[in-house]
Amino acid sequence: MPRTIIQNATIVNEGHTFIGAVVLEGEKIVKVSAESSLLQEGKGDDLVIDASGMLLLPGVIDEHVHFREPGLTHKATIASESHKAVMGGVTSYMDMPNCIPQTTTIELVEAKHSIAEACSPANWSFYLGATNNNLIEVERLDPTTNCGIKVFMGSSTGGMLLSDDEALEAVFRATSLPIALHCEDQDIISANIAHYKRLLQDSLQVNDSSSTGVDLPLRYHSLIRSEEACYCSSARAIALAERTGANIHILHISTARELQLFQRGPVEGKKITAEACIPHLLYIDADYDTLGTAIKCNPAIKTAADRDALRSAIHEQLIDTIGTDHAPHTPADKEGGALRAASGIATLPHSLTSMLTLADKGCFDITDVVRTMCHNPALRYDIAHRGFIRPDYQADLVLVKKTDSVWSVQKTWVNGTLAYSEGVVNPSARGQRLTFARHS
Can you list the domains of the chain with their CATH numbers?
A: 3-56+388-425 (2.30.40.10), 60-380 (3.20.20.140)
What percentage of the chain exceeds 90 in pLDDT?
89
DSSP 354: H
pLDDT category at 25 given cuts 50, 70, 90 is: very high
Instruction: Find the mean pLDDT for residues 65-80.
Output: 98
Residue 246 pLDDT > 80, yes or no?
Answer: yes
Lowest mean pLDDT among 208-212, 219-223, 385-389: 208-212
Residue 208 pLDDT > 60, yes or no?
Answer: no
Instruction: Find the mean pLDDT for residues 305-316.
Output: 98
Would you state the pLDDT for residue 156? Answer: 45
Identify the sign of the CA torsion 94, 98, 99, 105.
Answer: positive
pLDDT in tens, 29-60: 999 998 765 555 556 789 999 999 999 999 99
pLDDT in tens, 122-153: 999 999 999 989 999 999 999 999 999 999 98
Would you state the pLDDT for residue 439? Answer: 84
Instruction: Find the mean pLDDT for residues 98-110.
Output: 97
- DSSP-based three-state secondary structure for 142: coil
Residue 293 pLDDT > 50, yes or no?
Answer: yes
Instruction: Find the mean pLDDT for residues 1-21.
Output: 95
d(CA 354, CA 279): 10
DSSP secondary structure, 14-78, as one string: TTEEEEEEEEEETTEEEEEES-GGGG----TT-EEEE-TT-EEEEPEEEEEE---TTT-TTT--H
From the number of C-beta atoms within 10 Å of its C-beta (0-12, 13-18, 19+), residue 174 rates as buried
Residue 1 pLDDT > 90, yes or no?
Answer: no
Would you state the pLDDT for residue 10? Answer: 97
Would you state the pLDDT for residue 37? Answer: 57
pLDDT category at 287 given cuts 50, 70, 90 is: very high
Helix, strand and coil content of the chain, in percent to the nearest 5, comes to: 35, 25, 40
Q: Identify which has the larger pLDDT, 85 or 2.
A: 85
Residue 297 pLDDT > 80, yes or no?
Answer: yes
Contact between 50 and 10 under an 8 Å Cβ cutoff? The reply is no
What percentage of the chain exceeds 70 in pLDDT?
95
Virtual torsion, Cα 18, 23, 29, 32, nearest 10 deg: -30
pLDDT category at 162 given cuts 50, 70, 90 is: confident
Would you state the pLDDT for residue 410? Answer: 98
Would you state the pLDDT for residue 38? Answer: 54
pLDDT category at 205 given cuts 50, 70, 90 is: low
Would you state the pLDDT for residue 364? Answer: 98
Q: Name 228's Cβ contacts closer than 8 Å, sequence gap at least 6.
A: 185, 188
Mean pLDDT score across all residues of the chain: 94
Q: Name 89's Cβ contacts closer than 8 Å, sequence gap at least 6.
A: 57, 59, 60, 352, 353, 398, 400, 409, 412
Q: Identify which has the larger pLDDT, 212 or 317.
A: 317
